Amino acid sequence: MGAVDVFGIVGTTQAGAYQVEEVVAEGGFAVVYRAYHSAFRAKVALKCLKVPDSLGAQHYQEFLERFREEGELLFRLSSSTPAVVRPLHVGILEGTSRFVPFIALEWLEGRTLDALIEDRQGRSEPPLTFKEALRLLTPVARALERAHHFPGPGGEVCILHRDMKPENVFVAEQHGETVAKILDFGIGKVKSVATQMVGHQSTQGDGLVAFTPAFGSPEQWLPKRFGQTGPWTDVWGLALTLLAAITGRPPFEGDQAALLGSAIDPGRRPTPRTEGVDVSESVERVFAKAVAVDPRDRYQDVGQFWTDLHRAAGIVEGAVSILPPAPSPFAGQGLLVSVAPDPMAATKVAPAAAPAAAVTAEVPDLDLGVRAAKKVAPSAPEAPKAPQKITLMRDERSAAPAFGGGAFGKTLDVDDEIGPPARMASNPNLNPMRGPMDGVGLSPQAPPLRGPAARYGALEPLPGASTAALKEKLRGPVKLVVLGIVIMIADFGYSQYSGELFAVGPVRPLWVAGPLVVLGIVAALMRIMQGTR
């Protein structure tokens, strides 16, 4: 409420199809409008960027081209995971004297996580429990993992968000279920491009900030001291987002100087226990590693962080085996068509992975949301692996309309500096040849199996099936043995009570009980031997 139509486009039609109806939200870098797509006959969201006037006309075309490239990569990413809001179109607003790039996005009905937190506070309700927050954010974590190991035409690329916070997690109700999606994927990179083009630092000039200070990581505050951003930056943001959900408040508060001081203070780590939330010691240790000041001491991989968090909390993630969505028949033809995931994906078998030709090392781009893959010759090529199933997170897929922010990514020059350099290559959590996240499909390199499939093999039956069959075979012989033993016990009890032997005519019960026990044992042994042949 209270958002202003700063661009004066309400009531106009943009790009020939988007009938702008009203302003729904306004932030420091963008205004979001609700629009009606006349061809799709559906609501969409138009996110219009507040590009600084000082950018200069000489940079307009360059900025727009980078923006479009980021939108294309976002389209491919959103097609592979339902937890990322899907873009539909990238363009420039018409009928305004300003240079205003916009991105059209699917529409979501719901609210952001920060709004949910504030609403619970307003109704004097406690914050989300640790398990509730963990479950809610799991699709977000797995989507980040997917983005960090995203297969591109030239090899694996790392698409960074770089502004993870509750405001960029949208909680929607779809088909009676609560689902979470990521908004503003990489928008901080676009802000940084604008500031670079006008010659400003990210925290100076006309107020444009490439990250949210309350959730900014040490390397975002002081890149010269702590190195470049990377997957470890999203680990930081996701950890603080989870912490805000279970505490009901941001981990850091104050002016920029106070926020910076808290972010880089080794004695002021934002963990559940330091914020008054009762968790186990193992959960506390996982959090402490996720928010380490030095990026080299932090988790290098979002997927490993989230898996360790579940393990420390004693929570088992749901497992499903699926294939990634089929390639869009409209690939390379723009962003105007949204293709639903292949409904038969769960019944297909993954192809064998191709031999690895090179190891990828993540390098920074010009701050547009993605890291390029630098090629490094491996010591020896790996042999192709057999088809495998992937143990996945339950990801609540839905094709419902959605609303959210933009995601941007770009493959850049491979001569840029790699950061942070020390200890990154030797860290077992940062394996550039690992597969995709648990929850969204396959990359050229199949991921390690987890859960029951990891212990017994993805293509072999689990032991529960053979045990059930054996029990069924032994049911009859066991009954014979039990019947014989019961008769023996009854005969012994009668003789002890009455002082005389029990008999039915000339037949003693023991004459029947003994053969029953022997017959049952022999039958059981024969069936066991038949089953092992």
DSSP 272-332: TTTTT----HHHHHHHHHHT-SSGGGS-S-HHHHHHHHHHHHT-PPP-----PPPPPTTTT
The reported pLDDT for the residue numbered 191 is 60
Q: Which two tokens stand for residue 184?
A: 């503003």
Cβ neighbours of residue 412 under 8 Å, at least 6 residues apart?
A: 363, 364, 365, 366, 368, 370, 371, 372
The reported pLDDT for the residue numbered 189 is 58
Contacts 24+ apart (CB under 8 A), 264-269: 264/218, 264/221, 264/222, 264/226, 264/293, 265/293, 266/293
Whether residue 420 has a cis bond before it, omega within 30° of 0:
yes
CA pair distance 321, 147, nearest whole angstrom: 19
Pair 15, 91: CB distance under 8 Å: yes
The reported pLDDT for the residue numbered 196 is 62
Tell me the pTM. 0.59
The reported pLDDT for the residue numbered 316 is 84
* Positions of the chain with pLDDT under 50: 200-207, 319-465
The reported pLDDT for the residue numbered 428 is 39
The reported pLDDT for the residue numbered 274 is 95
The reported pLDDT for the residue numbered 292 is 97
3-state secondary structure labels for all residues of 85-143: CCEEEEEECCCCCCCCEEEEEECCCEEEHHHHHHHHHHCCCCCCCHHHHHHHHHHHHHH
Task: Give the sheet arrangement for strand 42-49, strand by strand.
Answer: 13-14, 18-26, 30-37, 42-49, 101-106, 87-92
